[in-house]
Structure 1
Amino acid sequence: MSNHPRPLLRLKKHELLSPDEDRKMEVGVYDALLPCRKYEVAYKVAVLGKVSQSLEFLLRLVKAVPGITEETAAAFFGFEQAEISYVLNEATGPGFVEWREGRLWLTSAGEMLFREGTDDPVIYTVEERCRDLGFDLLAIAPQAPRAIDSVELTLPELPITDPAGTGRVGNRIFERFNRFFYELVDRRDREQIQQRDLYSVDRVVPKERFQVPVRVQVFAQASAPSLPEIDLSAWRAEHEISDRPQIESAAAMLVDDLKVNGNQISASQAYEVLVELAPNFLKEFVTKAGLNVNRYWRDAVGRAGEPRADRKTVPIIGPLYTEANARRFLEVVDYGLRGDAERPEFVFSVAPQTPLWGASTQQRDTLSYLRRRIAAAAPASTNELRTVCLFPGKAAWFIDRTFDEVLGADYSDLPPALEIMIVPHIAVAALVHAPIGAASGYAVPLGWASFDESVVARTQAFVTERFYSFVREPNRHGRLIHALHSRPESE
């Protein structure tokens, strides 16, 4: 074997980051529904127990010395005739020992009392069980039903690669119940798990279907952000996921179908808007050709830090509603609330036209946290914050149920890749959902969040100019329009 160290692998010059700068980034999060079904399963368990001490001694002797005489056995134990007769009745009654030609032999039932790898005989009794159990229809693995809320009800389903196979699930339950028996047994059996084994599965009756949400987190290496990797650890422990490879495959298919082409979603125009709204923040990344996205990405990866009084605008990587980004945006809002701005009545979200945007209860939860944060800053206010989504085209049902109000538009000149969040006069965020470092691939959100008054004012003015395409009844939405009007920019 060579003693020379292996050479380090170096990324090619066109790669976004060097190996020592590379890191894993969360670039997406989705909740998808896993199709499941309840089954009534009738089965039997073998309840194991010890034989009496005298019978154990006799059985072990007969096993060790097949064909031993009754007299020799009595002499071995020092039993009198009445004692050996009692023990023999205990052995022959259930059919564990038989006499042949005046000698004692173990029957097949007696042999079965000695489990493989043990010298001690055990007996068992068979008990019947009947339970309603949930199984998913992809991996045919245990899945307990739970109540799901109005947003979860409308989430997308995980794709099923073999739709016809779901009709054969009932037949597979027999084998899968045996595979997951120790996970499925009830509490009484679990407490005595060493004494109970599955004896048989006798009947499986399909019952009602149900769904449970599965959280799919999307990560990518910073050196190749548009090549996603899925992570289901927020849903189940790693060892449980390894028992469910079909669900992993379905989640991978879901994310793979989200790939887009940067030109088709007008990514370059969306990046122009980022620069237009926060020119001072992005000036060092702007060239004659526009925003140098790769340079900004590298910088954002290295310094996506927290806001400060002297750092009013911060980079954002990934959806606004990941846990880390939601916390960062709420801190931006906290700084904005320290000024003398009026507490807002509305929060506005301009939705990007990327597949499954907002398909997660984390977006709903982020808006709830935002509502509570603003309410705490203005305890005397009687106005409850309402969330409004401006959605070009027809919004999915989970968007309708996430926001208090959704305003659609038949036509909008907003770049499809652009997302904007506005807490009027307090804080804003803008992101572009597009492949980075590649012409097509997974759309990675990249942008900024700010409480800088000039950035807030420009962002509000930009959305106000395009607001009317979302409003079919201007009189009815006068308060919304008024809420978006910008104040004079600070010097």
Structure 2
Amino acid sequence: MAMLSRPLLRLKGQELVPPDEDRRVDLDIFDVLLPCRFYEVNYKVASLGQVSPTLEFLLRLVKAAPGIADDDAATFFGYSPSEIAYVLEEAIGPGYLERRAGRLWLTISGEGLFKDDDKQPSIYTVESRRRSFGFDLMAIAPQVKRFLDELERVLPELPSEDPAGTGRVAERVPARFKQFFRELADQADRGKTERRDIYSIDPVVTPGERYQMPIRVVTFAQASNPTAAEIDLSSWRMDHEIADRPEIERAVALFVKDQQTSVNQLDAANGYQTLIDLAPEFLKEFTTRNGLSEGRYWREAVSRAGEPRVDRKTIPIVGSLLLPGNIERIQAVFDYGLRNMTEAPTNIYAVAPQTRRWGATTQQRDLLTLIQEKTARSFPGPDKPEMKSICLYAWDKPAQYTAKTFDEIQPIRVADFPRSLELFLVPGVMAAAVVHAPLGSSTGNPVPLGLTSFDPLVIDRAYAYFLERHEPYRVKDGSA
């Protein structure tokens, strides 16, 4: 264990993060449901198409030289008398040209073929349509419906200003339909190549089925001010599309702001002390007489959070365990820990922190499934018991998305664990401990900060700590 004789993390000054090292840090991830509704819209479209090449050239010539003689037009194109007669009939028959005293002029209809001073003429027909389109109930912008699985359907919903989805929303649909017509027309007429423009919209629309669609939200902050959470919706839509939906941005911002809490409310000091108790060797450079120097640890964790190795069994964790980058780290830690197992682990334990909306994402399920599948592949056999995921939950009733995510929910008392502490434990294989509390400020959004490890010493301490605070597990897991 010679590696413990040298510092695992390098100390710098006392500031939270030096200005030259400030950076974006992802903090948390949520999936929230956007309320939507179908609306039936009556409208007309102008289907635009190109005229034939010969007619186009003649119309463009007459537009450029009004009153040109028949013979001069024939000479310009090199047409014979029969050829110019054919082309003239194609133009005069539909009423695009008229001949007066042997000269050619565009009619009103002919002039109308040149849209917005376009030099190229085109013809169009007006068609009536009646179709149903999905709009969200906040920005009144197009939102395609897809099938939601059992977990997605119980994710938290963003509050809507018009819960019924009628009235004021329905009144806004025609104008928003016109604004997003090109996007909606492409969806409705996929596979058709001719260009279409909106011609008219019936001001009366008919509300239809309500539905919900998930939005993935990542919160982030600058390392120098981690409690000032911002939102990133880029995994949902492109920036220019989000700019057309400011109402949704505001709703998501309020959803995130609702997570704000205080250090005292979450018992953060005891949460940080637990980190020290689980991994004193790893955190010795950040431990003072008053406990963990969380600011110093944050600074180093932000700059040095890396991947586990054989000689680096414990690594810092910044942000939610469910962020994609942290899921990859946990997966790597789990892989290392699994190599030392002769029997398959039987349970995954999670102690939920007492923060609002913890685990409100399908990422939680994906992490559990990943671990269960890796275990099944590593220990094949028909008689092997199925690995269970068990969540210890201290609030009165777990959120539906938590109940749907885990195989089993076991109630605990509020005081059994520090309110800020999240534990993720596979006995004998790995442990992760994260404190969710404002950092650098007494109040604000929780900033997840902790560690994960496949070090047997850390795992054993974490499991003993876990069992000590939930005695019934000693009976259920006597073989552990």
Q: 1:53 to 1:413 in 2, by over 3 A?
A: closer
Q: 1:465 to 1:115 in 2, by over 3 A?
A: same
| Alignment correspondent of 2:297 | 296
Post-superposition offset of 1:356: 0.4
- 2:403 and 2:409 in contact (8 A); partners too: yes
| Alignment correspondent of 2:207 | 206
Q: Given the alignment of the two structures, is residue 372 of structure 1 paired with residue 366 of structure 2, yes or no?
A: no
Q: SS state of the match for residue 280, structure 1?
A: coil
Post-superposition offset of 1:26: 1.3
Post-superposition offset of 1:81: 11
Q: Given the alignment of the two structures, is residue 431 of structure 1 paired with residue 430 of structure 2, yes or no?
A: no
- 1:15 and 1:437 in contact (8 A); partners too: no
CA deviations on 1:434-460 (whole Å, 9 max, x unpaired) are 011111111011111112222212211
**Runs of 5+ consecutive residues of structure 1 not aligned to the other structure:** 1-12, 469-473, 486-491
- Structure 1 range deviating more: 303-312 or 421-430: 303-312
Counterparts of 1:257-406 in structure 2, within 5 Å, are 257-340=258-341, 342-380=343-381, 382-393=384-395, 394-406=397-409
CA deviations on 1:49-82 (whole Å, 9 max, x unpaired) are 344667657755665666x5xxx84454469999
Q: SS state of the match for residue 330, structure 2?
A: helix
| Alignment correspondent of 2:3 | none
Counterparts of 1:176-187 in structure 2, within 5 Å, are 176-186=176-186
- Structure 1 range deviating more: 176-185 or 396-405: 176-185
Taking the aligned partners of 1:309 and 1:129, their CA distance within structure 2 comes to 65
CA deviations on 1:334-365 (whole Å, 9 max, x unpaired) are 22222245322111101000010000000100
- 1:189 and 1:196 in contact (8 A); partners too: no
- 1:182 and 1:190 in contact (8 A); partners too: no
Q: 1:449 to 1:51 in 2, by over 3 A?
A: closer
Q: 1:424 to 1:113 in 2, by over 3 A?
A: same
CA deviations on 1:203-234 (whole Å, 9 max, x unpaired) are 63221010010000111111111111211111
Q: 1:113 to 1:292 in 2, by over 3 A?
A: same
Q: 1:26 to 1:341 in 2, by over 3 A?
A: farther
Q: SS state of the match for residue 34, structure 1?
A: strand
Post-superposition offset of 1:153: 0.9
CA deviations on 1:445-489 (whole Å, 9 max, x unpaired) are 111111222221221111112214xxxxx5xx7763425x5xxxx
Amino acid aligned to 1:382: K
| Alignment correspondent of 2:455 | 452
**Runs of 5+ consecutive residues of structure 2 not aligned to the other structure:** 1-12
Q: 1:300 to 1:327 in 2, by over 3 A?
A: same
Taking the aligned partners of 1:296 and 1:311, their CA distance within structure 2 comes to 17
Taking the aligned partners of 2:433 and 2:88, their CA distance within structure 1 comes to 87
Post-superposition offset of 1:146: 0.6
Q: 1:337 to 1:97 in 2, by over 3 A?
A: closer
Post-superposition offset of 1:395: 0.7
Counterparts of 1:7-156 in structure 2, within 5 Å, are 15-51=15-51, 63=63, 68=67, 73-77=69-73, 94=94, 96=96, 106-156=106-156
Amino acid aligned to 1:148: L
- 2:319 and 2:448 in contact (8 A); partners too: yes
Q: 1:89 to 1:307 in 2, by over 3 A?
A: closer
CA deviations on 1:59-117 (whole Å, 9 max, x unpaired) are 55665666x5xxx8445446999999987876666555678999976554333222222
Q: SS state of the match for residue 170, structure 1?
A: helix
Post-superposition offset of 1:329: 1.3
Q: 1:165 to 1:151 in 2, by over 3 A?
A: closer
- 1:139 and 1:245 in contact (8 A); partners too: yes
- 2:334 and 2:430 in contact (8 A); partners too: yes
Q: 1:179 to 1:102 in 2, by over 3 A?
A: same
Q: SS state of the match for residue 279, structure 1?
A: coil
- 1:341 and 1:425 in contact (8 A); partners too: no
Taking the aligned partners of 2:52 and 2:282, their CA distance within structure 1 comes to 84
Counterparts of 1:201-240 in structure 2, within 5 Å, are 201-202=201-202, 204-240=205-241
Q: 1:93 to 1:467 in 2, by over 3 A?
A: same
- Structure 1 range deviating more: 377-386 or 104-113: 104-113
| Alignment correspondent of 1:174 | 174
- 2:151 and 2:401 in contact (8 A); partners too: yes
CA deviations on 1:24-47 (whole Å, 9 max, x unpaired) are 211100000011111223333222
| Alignment correspondent of 1:5 | none
Q: SS state of the match for residue 353, structure 1?
A: coil
Q: 1:208 to 1:17 in 2, by over 3 A?
A: same
- 1:44 and 1:198 in contact (8 A); partners too: yes
TM-score by length of 1: 0.85
Query: Kindly, what percent of the aligned residue pairs are identical?
Result: 51
Q: SS state of the match for residue 150, structure 1?
A: coil
| Alignment correspondent of 1:158 | 158
CA deviations on 1:268-311 (whole Å, 9 max, x unpaired) are 11111111122222122111111111111112112212222222
Taking the aligned partners of 1:451 and 1:83, their CA distance within structure 2 comes to 86
Q: 1:14 to 1:39 in 2, by over 3 A?
A: farther
- 2:70 and 2:103 in contact (8 A); partners too: no
Post-superposition offset of 1:193: 5.3
- 2:14 and 2:296 in contact (8 A); partners too: no
Taking the aligned partners of 1:168 and 1:382, their CA distance within structure 2 comes to 58
| Alignment correspondent of 1:10 | none
Taking the aligned partners of 1:112 and 1:284, their CA distance within structure 2 comes to 79
Q: 1:40 to 1:14 in 2, by over 3 A?
A: farther
- 1:30 and 1:360 in contact (8 A); partners too: yes
Q: SS state of the match for residue 205, structure 2?
A: strand
- Structure 1 range deviating more: 251-260 or 42-51: 42-51
Taking the aligned partners of 1:221 and 1:240, their CA distance within structure 2 comes to 25
Post-superposition offset of 1:430: 0.8
Taking the aligned partners of 1:277 and 1:442, their CA distance within structure 2 comes to 25
- Structure 1 range deviating more: 355-364 or 287-296: 287-296
Q: 1:201 to 1:418 in 2, by over 3 A?
A: same
Taking the aligned partners of 2:36 and 2:389, their CA distance within structure 1 comes to 33
- 1:219 and 1:230 in contact (8 A); partners too: yes
- 2:70 and 2:102 in contact (8 A); partners too: no
Q: 1:337 to 1:102 in 2, by over 3 A?
A: closer
